[in-house]
Amino acid sequence: MAAVPYAYFQRRVVPLAEAKIGIMTHAFNYGTAVFEGIRGNWNAEHQQLYLFRPEDHFRRIMRSARVCRIGLPYTVDQMLKLVLEIAERSHYQEDVYMRPLAYKSAEKVGVRLHGIEDDFLIFITPFGPYLDVTKGIRCCVSSWRRIDDNAIPARAKVTGGYINSALAKSEAEEDGYEEAILLTQDGHVSEGSGENIFLVMDGKLVTPPSSDNILIGITRESVIALAREEMGLETVERSIDRSELFTCDEVFLTGTAAHVTSVAEIDRRAVGGRQGIGPITARLQQLYFEVIRGDNPKYRHWLVPVYAQVAQKMK
């Protein structure tokens, strides 16, 4: 059966092609929306599409909505049922990306959050590799600084705030790099344009704290758990100086889109003085892909299978 994408839009499940908003929609004009990205990872051997930690994504969008005064009258279970219905109806047998989005839906002109109607939607789209995980990527330290939490809240995935990431990403790619690394206003390492960042130093993982304007990533949390439980590695959360990017042993990025991506070069300096992926990054990458594709039973609780009949046969 051929895949046909569906969406949840204006409280109905409809073909994606029918889900349209007007040009006066408040969120379109002012960036007044919050969102999540949920990966669905296809396992051909299992004939199953596994959603990775969808409940955690829904809990986070609920927190984002509270920050931005967007009404979201759905429970985690209700949103999970909707996303499963959309994914199952769409019949994809490849990796996909699912986008829940809560937004100011009224067609009104005026900059504010109060007194504007809200709505919620979900759509699905095929989504292959975002960055090349088979080899280390080239990064630069961006001239754009990470938006401070007092300007646009870092703890919320706000659509309007992603202009910061877009500016940094385009600058990096147009200068010949694959990704940008943004610094905070006071010059500490914050995150990539759409990823959290980890350094490997003296056999430990080091990553910026939430106070350095990072989004607390779900993939980030997963990698910290895998490093601790499967490799016995400690993770230290602390501010990181820019020069530490050039003196550490390994660097990698984590995110729903990026998975676990090794960084081979930063500002034309080889990370760790080596070519290729470092040993700790390589092992974490292997573990992570085993988990998200359903090949590691220990972490099956992080996954929600889409195709119910197949899941029933596997029990």
Residues serving a catalytic function are 157
Can you read off the two tokens belonging to residue 178? 């694959």
First-to-last alpha carbon distance for the chain, in angstroms, is 25
CA 238/CA 69 separation, integer angstroms: 31
CA 304/CA 177 separation, integer angstroms: 35
CA 139/CA 250 separation, integer angstroms: 13
CA 140/CA 215 separation, integer angstroms: 20
Q: What is the dihedral of CA 263, 266, 272, 277, to 10 degrees?
A: 20
CA 196/CA 194 separation, integer angstroms: 7
Q: State whether the Cα torsion 218-93-8-258 is positive or negative.
A: positive
